[in-house]
Structure 1
Amino acid sequence: MELKVINEEGQASARMNASDGLFARDYNEPLVHQLVVAYQANARSGNRAQLNRAEVRHSTKKPWRQKGTGRARAGMTSSPLWRGGGRIFPNSPEENFTQKINRKMYRAGLATILSQLVREDRLAIIEEFHVGAPKTRLVAEKLKKMGLDSVLLVTDDLNENLMLATRNLPNVLVLEPRQADLLSLIRFPKVLMTKGAVSKLEEMFG
């Protein structure tokens, strides 16, 4: 599999060979959907708390007499049928939303997404991405020359200058290869990788 390598002006300058198993896999939509749902579920904190009928503030007095009023029987105002009553099956902070992801599934899903990015021309490779000083302006100008507005940058050399220079750009996220997750790859319209990052991904998942 050959990937397009661009220069600092955003123009195609060369091509590089990459693993077919990582960048030329058929698209598996059900697998990607399952992984994205699991990823989002695992990020949930489970901090919702609702009250059952014993915990809501209520009176134990019977609202009206049992018979003769023409209304339905009622014992107390904490009934789940009443407005302000307790929940039948309340959510608790201990609720666990975790979904298991097998290692094989994660590897296959990552390869599927990377392959689809290549097919949609949303993935570009660059030799290296460095800035001389921790200044946001330098990164913004560099990305503007490449024609990249909203981009995920995956680099094998995440130094302090680059980290500080990109943290104030709302549409730019910089990650190392081991941090590249499925949701970030899907979320950004363009993904820019250094050659070193591609090599590391091939070592980990190829």
Structure 2
Amino acid sequence: MELTNISGKKVSVSDEIFGREFNRDLVSQVVTAYRNAGRSGTKAQKTRSEVNGTTKKSKKQKGGGARHGALTAPIFVGGGVTFAAKPRSFEQKVNRKMYRAAMASILSELNRQDRLVVVDAFDVDAPKTQGLVDKLAEMKAGKRPLLVVEDASENLYLAARNIPYVEVRDVQGLDPVSLVASDTVVMTADAVKKIEEWLA
């Protein structure tokens, strides 16, 4: 199949990567797994056996209201937690074939929805935010554009740094969450070829 470059040129691309059927379940699984991999899983609470406090009976058995033993019990302020959270890993296993298929599925859906824009090259002459803002406005890239280039320059990174919701990624740093969250994906022709090599 062919993608239309913003300048009107046709770019030949693989049907397997930019024209495959959208697999919602697979994309959902991969996006969830990617997000979970970034979770620290370090939350920790203490059970009643771990709380620092005496286990001595707090008051006499009779005549003092409710009968109870140690003040480390969960019903008391400062006591332990009944089902205490412990550090754990949220990692979900996603093999390479599934990940690549999900990425291709997302790119294909972006193409179908006309949210994928191909340009010959994308860069700025100076690390100035306004220059990049004007360039994106001219392309009608939306509020949350993702700029994908083969090798991003320092000027481009610096120019995009102060613009909310604008992301700059090279092909190696591309991930499913950034693709799904973007209004428009602006991709250079060289980046398209690099992605084809990666997902082939």
- Larger mean CA deviation between 62-71 and 49-58 belongs to 62-71
* Residue of structure 1 in register with 2:56 after alignment: 61
CA distance in 1, matches of 2:46, 2:80: 6
The answer to whether residue 25 in structure 2 is matched with residue 5 in structure 1 is no
* Aligned-partner SS, 2:11: strand
**1:126 aligned residue:** 119
Pair 1:106-2:99 in alignment: yes
The amino acid of 1:24's aligned partner reads G
Question: What is the root-mean-square deviation in Å for CA atoms of aligned residues?
Answer: 1.9
What CA distance in whole angstroms lies between the structure 2 residues aligned with 1:145 and 1:37?
34
Instruction: Show the counterpart of 1:38.
Output: 33
1:116 aligns to what SS in structure 2?
A: helix
Deviation at 1:124, TM superposition (A): 0.9
- The one-letter amino acid of 2:164's match is P
1:65-80 to 2 correspondences below 5 Å: 65-66=60-61, 71=66, 73-80=67-74
Q: How does 1:49-198 map to 2 (within 5 A)?
A: 49-66=44-61, 71=66, 73-92=67-86, 94-148=87-141, 149-198=143-192
**Runs of at least 4 residues off by over 6 Å:** none
Aligned length: 199
What is the alpha-carbon distance in structure 1 between the residues aligned to residue 61 and residue 110 of structure 2?
A: 68
Deviation per CA, 1:172-203, whole angstroms, max 9, x where unpaired?
10101111100000011111100000000001
**TM-superposed deviation, 1:59:** 3.9
Stretches of structure 1 that go unaligned for 5 or more consecutive residues are: 8-12
- 2:195 is equivalent to residue 205 of structure 1: no
Q: Which residue is 1:10 aligned to?
A: none
Structure 2, unpaired ranges of 5+? none
Cα distance in 1 for partners of 2:65, 2:163 equals 66
Q: How big is the shift at 1:110?
A: 0.3
CA distance in 1, matches of 2:187, 2:82: 51
- TM-score scaled by structure 2? 0.90
Measured in 2, the distance between the counterparts of 1:109 and 1:23 equals 12
Show CA shifts across 1:112-151 (max 9, x none): 1111111111111111112111111111111111112320
- 3-state DSSP of counterpart to 1:6: coil
Q: Which moved more, 1:56-65 or 1:132-141?
A: 56-65
